[in-house]
Structure 1
């Protein structure tokens, strides 16, 4: 049985709104609680020796939510990135963003670029935040980049990968989805070809170190064949 080290954990953070509804709170309070779960999970990943964590924070489809919720989320991104930059630097964690960032408000893009610039010196740990991200759009963007380069040779997997948003980031070994939903929702479509999946009924705001440990334990109990018999 192959015991591949758990190098990259990707998380679809689902259930903030339902968590808030169950507690009779506004939806935005669920997102604030979700931010605290992010902090717990990033610390837990460090303690468990997981060097890459990617989080599905805002999809290309999330613009369809109410204007008030979208505005609240954008405000949360602004606050969190500004207030936590010093802490991320202290933790020596490189922060990177994947998605169509240019479609975000200009001031948020400026903040994100500053966070990337300030943390790029750190190599051992990376936090990838997927904002305005969609797996289909990433693949289409890669194809359009290749087309613009006027490449004449047949397109290989290596060429396509080189034109993805973050081609140097290893594919996720484990994709976790909270809240009990059993779908990928357009997340890391190219990169997840051989990922393992772990679904939990727990809402994202309740996710903690014990939750991550349980998912990691489940991962290490599986046999990864990569198409082999």
Structure 2
């Protein structure tokens, strides 16, 4: 799973997703979270090596991290608050980073909080690469011919929707109607992780959540990396 600075969703998934599987299910879901560079080019090099190493069965992405998740081809994608237009804003901000003191100011405003996985460093050379990341990610969308599956969750009280950084209209343009809305904020609250995200991940993997009447029976226990 890739995401922004908030670390709640991965920890909630790790602690709860396997208990949502029926007792007779022979699979164990391994939730893997890696911290990658804020520089999109460096990040992609890291992500490619991890995909080769882990060979995951599903990719989850949160917030700005959804762009890198979408870019990965050949796997199902489950997204939370995908910030599809954030790279445009970061690209517009890039020239400002050339002004003395602006990088320091942005770094201070967005300095890591306790529990954050990633340090954000707003230099011109990093910010100017973000529009290309968006282009590469959306090239792997159904609108542009991708056969991958995508499903997203959006919060009704996501403050980034006001600015268009998170946009249902943009998502529908590229990915259609494969999404759901929860009554929460940008960072999906635990109740919705458990009631919506966990069942969706499990069903996308071809398994059956514990509350359904029928479980998937497959001989042999295997891990399904997320």
Q: TM-score, normalised by structure 2?
A: 0.35
Task: Output the TM-score relative to the length of structure 1.
Answer: 0.35
